[in-house]
Copies of this chain bind each other. A is one copy, B any other.
Amino acid sequence: MTAVGFIGLGIMGGPVAANLVRAGHQVTGYNRSPAKAEALAARGGRAARSIAEAVRGSDVVITMLPDTPDVEQVVLGDGGVFASAAPGTLYIDMSTIRPDAAARIAAAGGQRGVRVLDAPVSGGEQGAIDGTLSIMVGGEPGDFEAARPLLEAAGKTIVHVGPAGSGQTVKAANQLIVAGTIELVAEAIVFLEAHGVDMEAATTVLGGGLAGSTVLQRKGAAMLRRDFTPGFRAELHHKDLGIVTSAARDAGVVIPAGALVAQLMASLLAQGDGGLDHGALLKLVAQMSGRDRA
User: What residues on B are CB-neighbors of A136 within 8 Å?
Assistant: 202, 205
| Number of chain copies forming the complex | 4
CB distance from A173 to the nearest CB of B (A): 4
8 Å CB contact of A174 from B124, B159, B209: B209
Q: Which residue of B lies closest to A214 (CB)?
A: B212
Is A50 engaged at the interface, CB distance under 8 Å to the other chain? no
Is A163 engaged at the interface, CB distance under 8 Å to the other chain? yes
Q: A interface, how many residues as a size bin?
A: 35 or more
CB distance from A166 to the nearest CB of B (A): 5
Could you tell me the dominant secondary structure of chain A's interface residues?
helix
Say whether B160 contacts A254, CB under 8 Å: no
User: What residues on B are CB-neighbors of A253 within 8 Å?
Assistant: 187, 190-191, 194, 270, 285, 289
CB distance from A175 to the nearest CB of B (A): 8
Known: A157-B209, A177-B206, A206-B177. A270 touches B254 (CB 8 A): yes
Say whether A191 contacts B162, CB under 8 Å: no
8 Å CB contact of A218 from B210, B252, B270: B210
Q: Measured between alpha carbons, how far is A210 from B127 in the docked complex, in Å?
A: 11
Known: A161-B198, A196-B162. A242 touches B251 (CB 8 A): no
Say whether B173 contacts A188, CB under 8 Å: yes
Say whether B256 contacts A256, CB under 8 Å: yes
Is A183 engaged at the interface, CB distance under 8 Å to the other chain? yes
Q: Measured between alpha carbons, how far is A248 from B247 in the docked complex, in Å?
A: 18
Is A26 engaged at the interface, CB distance under 8 Å to the other chain? no
Interface stretch, picked from A6-14, A62-70, A261-269, is A261-269
Is A146 engaged at the interface, CB distance under 8 Å to the other chain? no
Say whether B211 contacts A178, CB under 8 Å: yes
Q: Which residue of B lies closest to A241 (CB)?
A: B249
Say whether B254 contacts A263, CB under 8 Å: yes
Q: Which residue of B lies closest to A180 (CB)?
A: B184
Q: A134-B208, A173-B206, A176-B188 are in contact. List 4 more A-B contacts (CB 8 A).
A: A169-B191, A181-B184, A211-B214, A259-B262
Would you list the 3 A-B pairs with minimal beta carbon distance, nearest first?
A270-B290, A213-B213, A177-B211
A-B contact pairs, 20 of them (CB 8 A): A160-B201, A166-B196, A166-B197, A166-B202, A170-B206, A174-B205, A176-B187, A180-B181, A181-B184, A183-B257, A187-B248, A191-B248, A194-B251, A212-B214, A242-B249, A249-B266, A252-B289, A254-B263, A255-B285, A257-B261
